Amino acid sequence: MLSRRFLVLVTCTLVLATLLGACTPAPAAPAVQPTQVPAQPAAEPTQAPVEPTKAPEPTQAPPEPTKAPEPTKAPEPTAVPAPEELILATTTSTADSGLLDSILPDFQQKYNAKVNVIAVGTGQSLEIGSKGDADVVLVHSRKGEDQFVADGNAKERHDVMYNDFIIVGPKTDPAKAKGMATGKEAFQAIMDAQQPFVSRGDKSGTHTKELSIWSSIAVTPTAEMTWYNSIGQGMGDTLLFAEEKQGYTLADRGTYLAMSDKLPGLEVIVGGGNLAENKDKALLNPYGVLAVNPDKHPNVKAELAQKFVEWILSPDVQKMIGEFGTDKYGQPLFYANAQPAEAAGGEKAAAATGDAALKVTGKVGAEQAWSEEQVKALPTIDVESTNSKGEKDTYTGVKLTDLLALAAPAADATTIVFVADDGYTAEAPLADVLACANCIVSFRTNGGFSTVLPEFAKNLQVKGVVDIQVK
């Protein structure tokens, strides 16, 4: 038993030794010495050795990258100053006719202004101005305007435009006044027939003219005259009342034409179809503009008022006035006749009468004198006539009737004398000239004027006319 255990133990020991020997690493082989390469002699350099390239100096740091521009801010809008206000006191006809609505926007835009219009009668307008409650006045009563200046309420008056008064009434014409030559004849017929007459009764220029016509036939209207209606209203309302009442009234032509579509029962009784056909030159209706005097009324807008005066007298605005209504009525509602004022002093640009290019003198209510530029600024027409060579030609100029209307020939005047710059004269009956719708003072190529009267004798074609004398 023992020997068997001994044999097993020996066997196990041998096996273990064998296993341990297998796990021991083999001894390393001896290291081989490397073969030394004989050193080669250094070659002689053919050139001096190149200095080693120095490292470049560090460049400066690049600039900071450009920042994207800040978005441009929209400029702050410039504040537009509030419009300066101007108070205009005026007769109702300038408003009722639509004229102011047509021309005032031009002034308001040019001068950043707002025009507050007080449209009442001329008398009331002048009263408002005399209190300093208006900056400028535009009216049509020459006597009242001259008194306004004389009282120191304005330094001067300027012509702006004119039209004429007419008498309108029912188409049935119960007073049988249609076609009468003068206003006073018609007024007499209306009174004799006891037909309704409508008066503005508002101390306006129209009312003043009406009273002067009654005075010419020695009549003073009173409340006891049942046929006489004084309503104290403006021109437009007066015309509407006359339409309703089927009565007669005195009106300015401009307002009547502007409102004619609302007046189907009325027609022109005295005054004809246009100013040239109006035989009663006493019915001429001139308009004037007056800046209120700041010396007497320090509160007024004197500078803006002066700008208004210069504006309304300027050629551009005068042209607007002269053209107003022509497209609708075939004739202007107003005829421009301003003599432009100088900006500095407001004095008339026209020379004195003796130095004017053309004048109307003699038996007239108001002598006229114009520079050549002022005549050319007036409304013009073209007429055909025979020249000195016997050939038909076309001439452009201003109607003689318009020029004479501005001067207002006296009732007893009978003759016109045309005076040339060389002293030559020619005569014509005043009535015939006033009845001639195509008689003109024409513009000469080299300056100056000539008369063109197609229906008259050749000796009335006066070259270089400088004076139209009323006798």
**Together in a domain, 180 and 122:** no
The pLDDT of residue 439:
92
Token representation of residue 47: 């050139």
pLDDT in tens, the chain (471 residues): 445 555 555 555 554 555 545 544 544 444 444 444 444 444 444 444 445 555 555 555 555 656 666 666 666 666 778 999 999 999 999 999 999 999 999 999 999 999 999 999 999 999 999 999 999 999 998 889 999 999 999 999 999 998 899 999 999 999 999 989 999 999 999 999 999 999 999 988 899 999 999 999 999 999 899 999 999 999 999 999 999 999 999 999 999 999 999 999 999 999 999 887 888 878 888 899 999 999 999 999 999 999 999 999 998 999 999 899 989 988 889 988 886 443 323 334 343 344 588 999 998 877 888 888 888 878 888 998 887 677 888 999 999 988 988 888 887 889 999 998 888 899 999 988 888 889 999 998 888 999 999 888 777 889 999 999 999
Does 321 share its domain with 184? no
CA-CA-CA-CA torsion sign (369, 374, 380, 382): positive
Residue 322 to residue 329: CA distance in whole angstroms: 13
Contacts of 94 (CB under 8 A, 6+ apart): 100, 119, 138, 287
CATH number at residue 450: 3.90.420.10
- Domain membership of residue 61 (yes or no) is no
Residues 404-430: b if buried by 16+ CB within 10 A, e if exposed: bbbbbbbeebebbbbbbeeeeebebeb
Question: Do β-strands 440-443 and 449-452 pair in parallel, antiparallel, or remain unpaired?
Answer: antiparallel
Q: Is residue 15 part of a domain?
A: no
pLDDT for position 150: 94
CATH (domain of 306): 3.40.190.10
**Domain for residue 78, yes or no?**
no
Per-residue confidence (pLDDT) for residue 7, from 0 to 100: 54
Residue 323 lies in a domain: yes
pLDDT for res 171: 97
Cα angle 419, 423, 429 (rounded to 5 degrees) comes to 30
Residue where a domain stops, chosen among 269, 284, 299: 284
Picking from 284, 306, 324, the residue at the C-terminal end of a domain is: 284
- What type of residue is 100? L
Look at the chain and report how many structural domains it folds into: 3
Same domain, 155 and 140: yes
> How many angstroms separate the CA atoms of 345 and 347, rounded?
5
Task: Give the pLDDT confidence score for residue 29 in this predicted structure.
Answer: 43
* Same domain, yes or no: 314 and 174: no
Q: Looking at the structure, do residues 313 and 357 belong to the same domain, yes or no?
A: no
Whole-angstrom distance, CA of residue 265 vs CA of residue 246: 7
* Phi and psi angles of residue 409, each rounded to the nearest 5 degrees, phi first: -55, 145
Q: Can you say how many angstroms the Cα of residue 196 is from the centroid of all Cα atoms in its chain?
A: 40
* 3-class DSSP assignment, residue 39: coil
The one-character DSSP state at 341 is B
Distance CA 398, CA 411 (A): 23
Q: Are residues 315 and 426 in the same domain?
A: no
Q: Are residues 254 and 305 in the same domain?
A: no
Rounded to an integer, what distance in angstroms lies between the CA atom of residue 195 and that of residue 190? Answer: 6
Cα(471)–Cα(469) distance, integer angstroms: 6
Statement to judge: residues 167 and 280 lie in one domain: yes
**Rounded to an integer, what distance in angstroms lies between the CA atom of residue 349 and that of residue 420?**
23
Note whether residue 204 is domain-resident. yes
DSSP labels, 186-248: HHHHHHHHT--EEE--SS-HHHHHHHHHHHHTT----TT-TTEEE----HHHHHHHHHHHT-B
* 464 and 429 in a common domain: yes
Residue 135 lies in a domain: yes
Domain range for 443 is 353-470
Residues 170 and 100 in one domain: no
The reply to whether 328 falls in a domain is: yes
Q: Are residues 301 and 269 in the same domain?
A: no
Tokens at 379, concatenated: 């409304």
Backbone angles phi, psi at 199, to 5 degrees: -105, 140
Question: Do 170 and 279 reside in the same domain of the chain?
Answer: yes
From 336, 364, 397, the end of a domain falls on 336
- Is 399 contained in some domain? yes
